[in-house]
Structure 1
Amino acid sequence: MLKINRGQLHASVSKVYESLLPLSFNLTGLVAGVFVATFSGVIATVPWGFLIYPGILSIRGALGGLFAGRLSTALHLGTVKPQLRDNTVHLSILVKSIVALTLLSGVFIGLTGSVFSGLYTGFSAVESLKIIAVTIATMAVSNVVISPITFGLSIVSFNRGYDPDVVLYPIVSTVADIMITITYIAMVWLSLSQTGLIMITAVATGFTAWSALVIRENMAEDEFSQTIREFLITLVIVSVIVGITGTTLERISERIQGAREIYAIYPALIDTIGDVGSIIGCTLTTKLALGTVPSHPRRLSDLKGELGEVVSAWGASVILFGMYALIASLIYAPAGLAALTLRLLALNLISVPIIILVVFVITYATYSRGWNPDNFLIPIESSLADTVTTLALLLVLLLG
């Protein structure tokens, strides 16, 4: 049986503050939510607007998680230098892998979104092509901004003595949510006109050609091809998961009937739950790479060293959920503060334990097979976090 002494408990509680720092950046994720709440009418002008929005958020988060996780581990191992110039071949291959995977992810989520849209609203070849073009263009534009920010932040945090396993992904994922949301709304708006569609098609076609060239020139590299192969397994899983998330959000949008406070906090909610998993998971994969945690735990007590990360990340998320309820209620529905707070706490208690379990299962399942956990963990965990949080949100709305 796992025993916790007073010293361990004190250390775990103090770690809440360490986790709260990067997780508090999710408060800026309310910016993405405010954009969704403000421009929900634009998104709703196309039948697939809310259906594929969570999918794009999840896939972009999965790619950001892959990049952040690999960078964090590589900085600890010394295979990437904490500097902008004269870096390693490992970094070059990783960046090219992200470019290729951005295209493949855009195609996958576009196809999956088309299938779910067809099942939900009826099949249309024109709408399917439009979905794929919008998805690829959104992913392409956001990648140009998010990847440099991710790398720059990893260098700054590492050089200043912060642990990138804890700091990097929570901040980057929030920036990505804001960037993706703004870009997606713009792409949906552009898709409503012929001129806009031409612009979207040009961006999607240009990025496809460039990415195809990157794939052709680097597929012979073992590390590049391994990253692509392993992430494709993840991508298939994630594409199905995000389809479920999109269908659920469509039901939520029907249920809340213009309750803008829910739209406003939605990106921050899924981001925070995903970040809890990333903090625990990134720390675990780095420790596995360094050999400072059991590689084949037989008992729960073998993992007691990870209790501090679990308690701190979970505790910080509870604090943030209370803040989300307060801010959203003050802006949109002051009289509903108590009800919204109870709903979000219930959502947290449902979602976080599931994601913690997922993190440990994925990490050890992939590691035991000789795969790189960083290629699987955050992409699958973040997408599952989006789905679990969205389903939990629907549940608490139905019960409330």
Structure 2
Amino acid sequence: MSSELSSKNFASLFKETSLAYFFGLGGLFAGFLIASYLGVFELASWTIALYPVLISAKGITSGLLSGRLSTALHLGTVKPSFFRNTKLFYTLLESLVFLTLATSAVIIVFSLFFGKLFWGLTLNDFSGIVLVILATMSMGLLLSFITINIAFLSFKRGSDPDIVVYPILSTISDVFITACYLLCLTLYFYGAFGQAVLIIIGGFVVIFGISLVFKNLHEPVFIKTIRESLFTIFLVAFLVNIAGTALIGIRNFIERRPEIVMVYPALIGMIGNVGSVVGSTSTTKLALGLLSPSFSSIKKHLKNIFSAWGASLLMFVILAFLSLLLTGTFSISSLFDLLSILFLTNVFAVSVIVFLTYAISILAFKRGLDPDNFVIPVESSFADVITSIALLASLIILG
């Protein structure tokens, strides 16, 4: 497998990456859901700000799982089978449940803090934020089964899980979490019955997650995964709330430009895909000894970087075309206008995320930490923040 990783040419990498990114077009469906339920976001000021927070927060656990599985499959420490797998595999799943609970708790604290300062929250809003975040994140655990199946299937068929898994997963995750979030908002605003349902869903994960801690108190892999992920959780919680605050700024534009609403989830997903491909392939190469742990070794990773970047530009063209068609606003001038905004967003966001992702991979590896506990979770959250800010800046400059 190591020889295959180093021998692929640019055309082969571009083709494989483009096919994986193609699933990112499904992010338009998440945008369609948001556009169809804009009314629910008018019920409280925090509803629009929490959307990128939850999309990004789910990237912590989904990204960690996809990164760890991809590397473990290459190293042979995990088998491509759900049953009769290694102890590492099942311990990883158990740590994922507790990390979901821990992430929810930290996200809630930061969201309440940002909400009080920037979103205009009142004390009456606090219970809604707690219930909706916990229930949405709990429902998101179902994505773990999809992640595992994609990783195993791609590995069995000879594809590189580092390239395939997260781009496909991120799109499915965006659509699924969007649907879960809208469902939780609907239940919360429905009244006492809906809120009781949210309490049951969140309460089950709280009890189950705490029980897993007692079960794995002396399990080194579990403790190491949790310990190394805590810093990531706090960092990501801070970053994603910046993205949520930025979306409030973008809201003034998207109310009169439905194509921006449609394309937003796909944009943040696509930039995250670029970072995940660059980061996941670099961590695997570091583990296999194909890259030296120095920033200068990025020269040996340029094929992966430029193939990932080029594929994202191609997808941005398709996203612009489809979003205008689906919103009924297509014209040559509107296409040129939207492409200008998206390309400027892409150049700024990808430039930053590539160097950031590679730097995190190198620093984590040098310090003896598992890069898979940091790279994808951190870069996906940075990608959401950077893309949101880049889009806002592009709209101000060109919009």
TM-score band w.r.t. shorter chain: over 0.9
Alignment of 1:1-400 (within 5 A): 11-144=9-142, 146-192=143-189, 193-296=191-294, 300=296, 302-332=297-327, 333-335=329-331, 336-400=334-398
Question: Structure 1 stretches of 5 or more lacking a match?
Answer: 1-7
Change (3 A) 1:15 1:121: closer
Q: Judging changes above 3 Å, is the alpha-carbon distance between structure 1 residues 58 and 381 closer, same or farther for their aligned structure 2 residues?
A: same
1:241, CA displacement in angstroms?
0.3
**2 CA distance for matches of 1:58 and 1:99?**
17
Contact 2:45 2:120 in 1 (8 A): no
Q: Distance in 2 between matches of 1:14 and 1:99?
A: 36
Cα separation, 2, equivalents of 1:258 and 1:198: 36
Instruction: Supply the distance in 1 between the matched residues of 2:106 and 2:94 (Cα, whole angstroms).
Output: 19
TM-score by length of 1: 0.94
CA drift of 1:13 comes to: 4.3
Instruction: Please state whether the residue corresponding to 1:334 is helix, strand or coil.
Output: coil
Cα distance, 1:254 vs structure 2: 2.1
DSSP 3-state at the match of 2:390? helix
TM-fit CA distance, 1:14: 4.4
Asked if the contact 2:345/2:390 (under 8 Å) is kept, the reply is yes
Residue type at the aligned position of 2:188:
S
Cα distance, 1:138 vs structure 2? 0.4
Q: Would the aligned equivalents of 2:272 and 2:380 in 1 still touch at CA under 8 Å?
A: yes
Q: In 2, distance between residues paired with 1:15 and 1:22?
A: 11
> What stretches of structure 2 of length at least 5 have no aligned partner?
1-5
Residue 11 of structure 1 deviates from its aligned partner by 3.3
Alignment deviations for residues 229-268 of structure 1 (CA, whole Å, 9 cap, x no partner): 1111001100110110000001111233242211111110
**1:303 CA drift (Å):** 3.0
Question: After TM superposition, what 4+ stretches of structure 1 lie above 6 angstroms from structure 2?
Answer: none
1-structure distance, mates of 2:256, 2:204? 37
Paired residues of 1:42 and 1:188 also in contact (CA < 8 A): yes
Q: Is the 8 A contact 2:259 2:324 kept in 1?
A: yes
Q: Which residue of 2 aligns with 1:4?
A: none
- Given that 1:346 and 1:396 are in contact with CA atoms closer than 8 Å, whether structure 2 keeps it comes out as yes
Q: Which deviates further from its counterpart, 155-164 or 218-227?
A: 218-227
Deviation at 1:126, TM superposition (A): 3.4
Q: Distance in 1 between matches of 2:51 and 2:120?
A: 18
Taking structure 2 as the reference length, the TM-score comes to: 0.94
DSSP 3-state at the match of 2:9? helix
Letter in 2 for 1:176: S
Is the CA contact 1:294–1:303 (under 8 Å) kept in the aligned structure 2?
no
Aligned residues: 388
